[in-house]
Homo-oligomer: A and B are copies of this chain.
Amino acid sequence: MTNKERILTQLIAAKGNPISGQKLADELSISRTMIWKYLKALEEEGYVLEAVKKKGYILQKIPDIVSKERITPLLETKELGRTILYYPVCDSTQNIAAETARDGAPHGTLVITEVQTSGRGRLERAWNSSANKGIWMSVIIRPEISPHQAPQFTLVSAVAITKAIESLTGCVPEIKWPNDLLINGKKVTGILTELQADMDRVQSIIIGIGVNVNQDSNSFNESIQSIATSLKMETGIEIDRAALVAKILFYLEKYSRMYVENGFEPIKLLWESYSCTIGKRIRASLLRETLEGVAIGITADGVLELRLDTGEIRGIYSADINLIDK
């Protein structure tokens, strides 16, 4: 932690009680002048501090940002999020993460922003990333796995984010294969998993995560209002985005480790328990054809198995899925 983060952690831990400048200076072994400079810097980032005479400083308001200073004190991880690149604005966290990964960024590096000017979703679609309302982040992970295992990591991520949302809000999203999280049938989260690999080893997997958190219905373009929702719209309450980021990293680390140590089976069971795809009749739009049938499960490789009306079973690696009534 930096000194600024240490001071912030102390202020938060004091829960509305004052902490004296002298106490902070003693604990960090730095001068009171330096303490004062760090407090000014926090105020510039939007933290509101009250100075109480002869008692010290009280933290009155935490700004609604997802900066390194906000996230670090909330982390419960060993590796994920221990390096954070924060941008008030950027084009796409996924682009920055891909470049940073090539330059050797460590396992667990988090790239996060308040607003993306050209956020990307699957299949080169644009992703609406409105300012300060959602979570727009990319995590670089470097698991020691073979490239054919990489698609399973999309499913690991989906389970981790579902758990994080459930534990923080009580709302339980459903997973739509491969990587959309829905609440009441509307999309609340998208995951874009990208890969740098040779044929022997994965060099890095970059998990791009977009969560609609505090948007109101009018935050969305008319074109997506009927299919998108946010956690605030579903729960009625404003969510602390930094806390949700920390929870996502916690479960991502937990389930990644589970996957590397125990294989795909436990993840598969969790994924299936949250899935709204399995057992349903679906239409799958593939690169070159469209198939209709019943989704009967996912394989050990993370491939969706579809039973066509002819009885033939087809493995789907990549497709757009629509649930259909019949």
The distance in angstroms between the C-alpha atoms of A178 and B198, with both chains bound, is 13
Residues 138-171 of A at the B interface (beta carbon under 8 Å): 144, 146-148, 150-151, 154
Q: Which of A1-9, A83-91, A189-197, A242-250 forms contacts with chain B?
A: A189-197
Question: A287 touching B144 by the CB < 8 A rule?
Answer: yes
Question: A287 touching B146 by the CB < 8 A rule?
Answer: yes
Number of copies of this chain that the complex holds: 2
Residues 61-118 of A at the B interface (beta carbon under 8 Å): 98-99, 102
Asked if A314 is at the interface of the complex by the 8 Å CB criterion, the answer is no
Question: With a CB–CB cut-off of 8 A, which chain B residues contact A194?
Answer: 196-198
Asked if A201 is at the interface of the complex by the 8 Å CB criterion, the answer is yes
The distance in angstroms between the C-alpha atoms of A111 and B126, with both chains bound, is 32
Asked if A317 is at the interface of the complex by the 8 Å CB criterion, the answer is yes
Closest beta carbon of chain B to A182's beta carbon, Å: 18
Asked if A225 is at the interface of the complex by the 8 Å CB criterion, the answer is no
Question: With a CB–CB cut-off of 8 A, which chain B residues contact A151?
Answer: 147-148, 199
Partner pick for A197 among B99, B146, B195, B301, CB 8 A cutoff? B195
The distance in angstroms between the C-alpha atoms of A150 and B318, with both chains bound, is 14
Known: A144-B287, A148-B151, A195-B147. A200 touches B102 (CB 8 A): no
Q: Which of A102, A123, A194, A200 has its CB near the most chain B CB atoms (within 10 A)?
A: A200
Asked if A40 is at the interface of the complex by the 8 Å CB criterion, the answer is no
Question: With a CB–CB cut-off of 8 A, which chain B residues contact A32?
Answer: none
Question: With a CB–CB cut-off of 8 A, which chain B residues contact A193?
Answer: 198-199
